[in-house]
């Protein structure tokens, strides 16, 4: 599968999140051979859990599947720039590459906000590639929030 295909899958999961009443964010964790390890969307409302972000859910599932908390060699595809909490979890998990769709000027922690991976105290930072399918990811979020206002 290609980068584009994994981001397409993440967008499908984001759409499903939206249909459940969740903020539409989807994530896919891929091993070093290009095999999907875990995929999910936000489940904050469903689980009544403030940290049930898509990224956290797939990191947990991937770590459990591999039997290790370190996901070296794995890549993460997510439809929205990770928040600071998720960015730190990605660092702790030692994810190799982070691909994301829409930038998040208000809540992002990678290219916006604290820019976590640029901090000298950050022990591990993945390679970061933003803006993949950005228009579709942004539109999904805008439509979700417009419908609620």
pTM for this predicted structure = 0.96
Tens of pLDDT, residues 33-42: 999 999 999 9
- Considering the candidates 8, 22, 55, 111, report the single residue annotated as catalytic: 55
Q: Is the pLDDT of residue 3 over 70?
A: no
Sign of CA dihedral 13, 83, 22, 134: negative
User: Do the beta carbons of residue 96 and residue 32 sit within 8 Å?
Assistant: yes
Mean of per-residue pLDDT scores for the chain? 96
The backbone torsions φ and ψ at residue 124, rounded to the nearest 5 degrees and listed phi first, read -140, 135
Residue (of 33, 50, 61) closest to 85 by Cα position:
50
Question: What average pLDDT does the segment 75-86 reach?
Answer: 98
Question: What average pLDDT does the segment 99-112 reach?
Answer: 97
Tens of pLDDT, residues 61-70: 999 999 999 9
Establish whether 8 is a catalytic residue. no
- Residue 54 CA, chain-centre distance (Å), reads 6
């Amino acid at each position: 599968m290609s980068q584009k295909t994994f981001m397409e899958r993440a967008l499908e999961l984001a759409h499903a999140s939206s249909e459940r009443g969740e903020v539409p964010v989807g994530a896919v964790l891929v091993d070093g051979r290009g095999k999907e390890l875990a995929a999910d969307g936000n489940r904050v409302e469903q689980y009544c859990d403030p940290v049930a972000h898509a990224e956290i859910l797939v990191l947990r599932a991937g770590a459990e599947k591999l039997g290790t908390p370190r996901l070296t060699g794995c890549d993460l595809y997510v439809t929205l720039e990770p928040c600071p909490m998720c960015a730190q979890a990605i660092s702790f998990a030692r994810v190799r590459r982070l691909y994301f769709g829409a930038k998040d000027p208000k809540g992002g922690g990678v290219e916006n906000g604290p820019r976590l991976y640029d901090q000298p105290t950050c022990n591990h930072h993945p390679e970061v590639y933003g803006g993949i399918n950005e228009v579709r990811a942004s539109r999904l979020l805008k439509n979700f929030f417009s419908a609620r206002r």
